[in-house]
Chain A
Amino acid sequence: MQFKNIFKFNGGVHPNENKSLSTSLPIGSLPIPKKLVLPLRQHVGRVAKLKVKPGDQVLKGQIIAEADGNISASIHAPTSGKILKISEEILPHPSGLPDFCITIEPDFKDTWVEKKPISWKKLDRSKLIEALSQSGIVGLGGAVFPTHMKLKINQSQPINTLVINAAECEPFITCDDMLMRERADEIIQGALIAQTILDAKECVVGIENNKIEAYEALKKAAQKTTIEIKVVPTVYPSGDAKRLIYLLMGIEVPKEKRSVDLGIQVFNVATVAAIYRYLELGEPSISRVVTITGAVKAPQNYEVLFGTPLSELIVAAGGSSNKTKKFIMGGPMMGFDLPSIHVPVTKAMNCVIESSPELFPAPKPVMPCIRCARCADACPVNLQPQELYWFSKSSQLEKARDYNLFDCIECGCCTYVCPSKIPLVQFYRYAKSEIIAQDKSKEAANTARERNEFRLARIEREKKERAERNAQKALGANEKQADDEKKSTIAAAMERVKQTQQENIKN
């Protein structure tokens, strides 16, 4: 595998891949579990609207929660059964907070709703996008952005290139690798569909050179197409969309822009395979391939129904071999600790790693930064992590922002190479959240100030109006008084005249 026309980005790291752990066996399947817990929010955007109530019977593939607006995705029943309850459950999310979920009790008949394949070659684009908005498909690389929205394109900026992300650069994760080995045809067909919908001139697949079998499979599947399979070096984070675009095309997408602004759209391999299955076979997004690996006894990839409790997957993988029972979702570079083994498998769950002290030793004591700048050499964004660390640590947040803190993609390369073992990324996450919170409170303060100024102005105005009114009234009163005085003077004068006249008469 040779690199042709590859543009290497600065930095990056190459940790132990640990991928062969989970690639010796084909993608397995799990028995239908006793219950399925489906969070209403498994995607970026608005929470799906509930379409069922407890006690309802549902069929496999039936919509149980509907996309709410454009940036949202539907949830389908992964198997047939009864809606048991709608309640708050703990989710596989770094926050560890519970959210609303639909619990289904399967009837184990696995009866499909009527499948409606869509002849995508005949329908026009807008109809296809409308159809896909019901598919429940979101970005399966981990970003979980609703896919139909990524297929809608701006008239002013046509898409030139469709990039299929097959890099899978994080160590341990092999779900895309195995999918490519076993279902390369689905991926290539899905890529062709996406290319057609986007009306993209070209389609390039970017794959790291450590996945030889997957590469061969894709190459074979793409033989009669114009899709180009491009090999990129195995350097983390090559699977980051902006890094991959640079590797393949030499184009740097600025932070404030999206790749579509430059005529490039990126889809993950699993996402395009899901598009194919929805249009060609009529099967919505109800399952995905998940890697279960690390310290479990039998690491492997499984096709898992969404909502399956993680514990079932762990049992299938031979169970836990150590007592720590700590599981990481995602890869070791960007993943996070799962709050419990009872969380459901969701659309975002690409990999679960059982942690062990051997695989992931406890962090060593932190030493002071010696400014060796290894982090700067490793940063794929060319940031100066040692400066950002300094500013974050000393809460000089404006300085951190000036040094482009918000360009940081939190890939973890800096922490990976730090001799002083400083958890740099955690400092950046902290600084970012602080800045965002400050901006928000500043905004709130500004609004409050504006309101207060408005209120003061209103009070002032009312006061003035009242004063004017009073003055007017007072003026009126004065006139009356003056009138009265005049009248009384006249009256008094008349009286005097009268008296004088009477006196005169008497005299």
Chain B
Amino acid sequence: MDNRSPYIVDAPSVSVIMFKVLLALIPGIALYVYAFGLGVIINILLASLTVILTESAILAIRKLPIKVFILDGSGLVAAWLLALSIPSIAPWWIIVIGTLLCITFGKHVYGGLGYNLFNPAMLGYAILLISFPLVMSQWQIPGSLTENNIEWLDQIKIIMNSSLLSKETIDAMSSATPLDYIKTQLTLHQPLSVIQQNKIFSFLGGKGLELISLGYLAGGLYLLKEKIISWHLPVSFLASLFIIASIFYSIAPDTYASPLFHVMSGGSILCAFFIITDPVSGPTTPKGKIYFGIAIGLLVFIIRIFGGYPEGIAFAVLIMNIFVPLIDSLTQPRIFGHK
């Protein structure tokens, strides 16, 4: 006779966990819309549609139940994270191609939910950044927060067909991200204090971007409270990024941005609470999570400062994903009763 105890379970389903992650992204997205307009929503919708269609097709080919694996929500999480990582005025095919590749090569070639080695959203982002570097570095100047206000209709036009607008218009609306801008200006031997006079900078990080980061922070705290993520990853990652940035900042404040700038710029907060916390591609042991977070923090800083790309998160995460099995096997907790 089969012994099937325990007879009781009490756990949120995978779907509930994933939809709570989506819910936690809402404050950040709302502030995104407030600062940059509706472009991001269009990207999210395109990404969602692409992921549902692509996954349905793949699941049908793999003869797996479509409804179950669409409703688990993991595809949507990856798609939303990718949509939030690319410039909000990128042409429509960027997010469509990115999502398609991310879900196919980041998830299903490995066996689908639970089997992927790499973070799917970051894999998609890396492919896009390498393939379309120009588009991927043209970020929108925050609309409602500056005089460069783009009508939401214009945004749709830009996304849906960039040839409708002249190059001048696009140039007027877009710029590099603050991280990217600092990097290029430093090569022109501008001191940091002058660089940061640019209109895209604000109190802590980039104008508008720091606000969105606060939204992600709120969502991240919600995930902590709901015990969907543990503190180990966000704390170790942010602390390591903050500390290494502090060291460089204290040595040469005119060349290196402040630690708070690093934490509040780019995707640092999104990375801390939503990206490196992907359970499938991350370590599982508490100690392993701390090492993983520290390593990514250091790599992000190194790539930002010394690398050729404006943002280092995607590459840092992908590099560390490779080490996850090793980290896990080296950080096994002490078993009860063992020395």
B11, B333, B334: the one contacting A417 at CB < 8 Å is B11
Q: A254-B338, A382-B335, A384-B285 are in contact. Are A333 and B11 (CB under 8 A)?
A: no
Q: Is residue B253 within 8 Å, beta carbon to beta carbon, of the partner chain?
A: no
Given contacts A336-B1, A372-B17, A384-B284, contact A403 B11 (CB under 8 A): no
Please indicate which of the listed interface residues B8, B12, B112, B334 has the most CB atoms of chain A within 10 Å of its own CB: B8
Interface residues of A in 108-134 (CB under 8 A from B): none
B13 on the interface (CB 8 Å rule)? Answer: yes
Q: Which residue of A lies closest to B69 (CB)?
A: A367
> Which of B7, B11, B68, B279 contacts A418, CB < 8 Å?
B11
Residues of the A chain whose Cβ atoms lie less than 8 Å from the Cβ of B280: 370-371
Whether A416 lies near B9 (C-beta < 8 A) is: yes
The yes or no answer to B203 lying at the interface (CB within 8 A) is no
A418 to B114 CA separation, bound complex (whole angstroms): 14
Closest to A355 in B: B7
A333-B113 in contact (CB<8A): no
Is the CB–CB distance between B8 and A416 below 8 Å?
yes
Q: Given contacts A94-B1, A412-B5, is CB(A407)–CB(B14) below 8 Å? A: no
B197: chain A residues at CB < 8 Å are none
B254 within 8 A of A: no
Chain A residues near B334: list those with CB within 8 A. Answer: 382
What 0/1 pattern do residues 68 to 98 of A give for CB contact below 8 A with B?
A: 0000000000000000000000000011100
Q: How far is the CA of A416 from the CA of B10 in the complex (A)?
A: 6
A255 within 8 Å of B (CB atoms): yes
Q: Which residue of A lies closest to B18 (CB)?
A: A370
Q: Are B335 and A332 in touch, CB under 8 angstroms?
A: no
Residues in B neighbouring A447, C-beta threshold 8 A: none
Shortest Cβ gap from A243 to chain B (Å): 8
Question: Is B72 interfacial (CB-CB < 8 Å)?
Answer: yes
Q: Is A160 an interface residue, CB under 8 A from the partner?
A: no
- The answer to whether B112 and A94 have CB atoms under 8 Å apart is no
Q: Which of B47-90 contact A (CB under 8 A)?
A: 68, 72, 74
The answer on a CB contact under 8 Å between A252 and B336 is: yes
Residues from chain A with a CB closer than 8 A to the CB of B333 are 376, 382, 384
Known A339-B1, A382-B335, A423-B4; judge A371-B9 contact (CB<8 A). Answer: no
Least CB distance from B302 to A in Å reads: 27
Given the known inter-chain contacts A376-B284, A384-B332, please indicate yes or no for A242 contacting B8, CB distance below 8 A. no
Measured CB to CB, the closest approach of chain A to B339, in angstroms, equals 8
Residues of A within 8 A of B332 (CB): 384, 403
Given contacts A242-B336, A368-B113, A382-B335, contact A376 B285 (CB under 8 A): yes
Interface status of A33 (Cβ within 8 A of chain B): no
Whole-angstrom distance between the Cβ of B34 and the nearest chain A Cβ: 33
Render B238-262 as a binary contact track against A, CB cut-off 8 A, 1 for contact. 0000000000000000000000000
Given contacts A242-B337, A380-B336, are A332 and B8 in contact (CB under 8 A)? Answer: yes
Asked if B187 is an interface residue, CB under 8 A from chain A, the answer is no
Give min CB distance, A358 to chain B, whole Å: 12
Chain B residues near A246 (CB, 8 Å)?
A: 336
Q: Which residue of A lies closest to B324 (CB)?
A: A371
Given that A373-B279, A417-B11 are known contacts, is A407 also in contact with B5, CB under 8 Å in the complex? no
CB-defined contacts of A311 to chain B, threshold 8 Å: none
- Is B131 part of the binding interface, using a Cβ–Cβ cutoff of 8 Å? no
Chain B nearest CB, measured from A170 CB (Å):
10
Are B1 and A407 in contact, with the CB atoms below 8 A? no
- When the two chains form their complex, are residues A383 and B7 in contact, meaning their CB atoms are under 8 A apart? no
Give the docked Cα–Cα distance between A429 and B16 (Å). Answer: 29
A378 to nearest B CB, angstroms?
9
- Any A CB within 8 A of the CB of B132: no
Contact with A along B1-44 (1 / 0, CB 8 A): 11111111111111011000000000000000000000000000
Which residue of B has the minimal Cβ distance to A13? B10
Closest to B115 in A: A368
CB neighbours of B284 from chain A (8 A): 371, 373, 376, 384, 386-387
A3 within 8 A of B: no
Q: If A332-B8, A335-B7, A425-B5 touch, does A381 touch B336 (CB 8 Å cutoff)?
A: yes
B336 to chain A, nearest CB (A): 4
Q: Which residue of B lies closest to A251 (CB)?
A: B337
B-chain residues with CB within 8 Å of residue A404 when the two chains form the complex? 335, 338
- Pick from A95, A365, A371, A373: contact of B114, CB under 8 Å: A371
Asked if B328 is at the interface of the complex by the 8 Å CB criterion, the answer is yes
Query: Within the complex, what minimum Cβ distance (angstroms) separates B9 from chain A?
Result: 5
A425 CB to nearest B CB, Å: 7
Question: Within 8 Å CB of A417, what residues of B?
Answer: 9-11
Q: Which of A282-326 contact B (CB under 8 A)?
A: none
The reply on A337 being an interface residue by CB < 8 A is: yes
In the complex, the answer to whether A96 meets B11 with C-beta atoms within 8 Å is no
Q: A9-B336, A372-B17, A386-B284 are in contact. Are A367 and B6 (CB under 8 A)?
A: no
Within 8 A of B (CB), among A384-415: 384, 386-387, 403-404, 407, 412, 415
A421–B9 touching, CB < 8 Å: yes
Rounded to whole angstroms, the CA-CA distance of A337 and B6 in the bound complex is 11
Of all chain B residues, the one with the shortest Cβ separation from A374 is: B11
With an 8 A cutoff between CB atoms, is A55 at the interface?
no
Contacts of A407 on B, CB cut-off 8 Å?
Answer: 335-338
Mark B104-118 against chain A: 1 for CB-CB distance below 8 A, else 0.
000000001111000
Are A15 and B1 in contact, CB atoms less than 8 angstroms apart?
no
Chain B residue nearest in CB terms to A338: B1
In this complex, the member of A10, A359, A412, A419 whose beta carbon has the largest number of chain B beta carbons within 10 angstroms is: A419
Nearest B residue to A371 via CB reads: B279
| CA distance in complex: A299, B13 (Å) | 32
Beta-carbon contacts under 8 Å, B268-327 to A: 279-280, 282, 284-285
A383/B335 contact (C-beta < 8 A), A365-B68, A369-B114, A429-B3 known: yes
Residue of B nearest to A243 (CB): B336
**A364 on the B face (CB < 8 A):** yes
Complexed CA–CA distance, A365 and B337 (Å)? 35
Q: Is the CB of B1 within 8 A of A337?
A: yes
- Tell me, rounded to whole Å, the shortest Cβ–Cβ distance linking A164 to chain B: 22
B335 touches A15 (CB 8 A): no
**How far, in angstroms, from A254 to B3 measured CA to CA in the complex?**
27
Which residues of A198-231 have CB atoms within 8 Å of chain B's CB atoms?
Answer: none
Q: Which of A10, A171, A330, A376 lies in contact with B8, CB distance below 8 A?
A: A171
Determine which of A171, A255, A425 lies in contact with B337 in the assembled complex, contact meaning CB atoms within 8 Å.
Answer: A255
Chain A residues whose C-beta falls within 8 Å of the C-beta of B17 in the assembled complex:
370, 372, 419
A497 adjacent to chain B (CB < 8 Å)? no
CB-defined contacts of A15 to chain B, threshold 8 Å: 8, 10
Judge whether B336 and A333 touch: CB under 8 Å: no
Q: How far is the CA of A364 from the CA of B9 in the complex (A)?
A: 10
B114 pairs with A381, CB closer than 8 A: no
Residues of chain B contacted by A254 (CB below 8 angstroms): 337-338
A369 to chain B: closest residue by CB: B114
| CA–CA, A359 and B12, complex, Å | 18
Residues on A lying within 8 angstroms of B by beta carbon are 9-10, 13, 15-16, 94-96, 171, 242, 246, 252-255, 257, 328, 330, 332-337, 339, 355, 359-360, 363-365, 367-374, 376, 380-384, 386-387, 403-404, 407, 412, 415-421, 423, 425-426, 429
A-B contact pairs, 20 of them (CB 8 A): A15-B10, A252-B337, A255-B335, A333-B6, A335-B5, A337-B1, A337-B3, A337-B4, A364-B9, A364-B13, A367-B13, A370-B14, A373-B284, A382-B333, A407-B337, A417-B9, A419-B13, A419-B14, A420-B114, A421-B9
A-B complex: 6 closest residue pairs judged by Cβ atoms: A368-B114, A412-B6, A254-B337, A96-B1, A373-B284, A360-B7
Give 7 A-B pairs besides A242-B336, A252-B336, A386-B284 with Cβ atoms closer than 8 angstroms. Answer: A255-B335, A333-B7, A336-B1, A367-B114, A381-B337, A404-B335, A407-B336
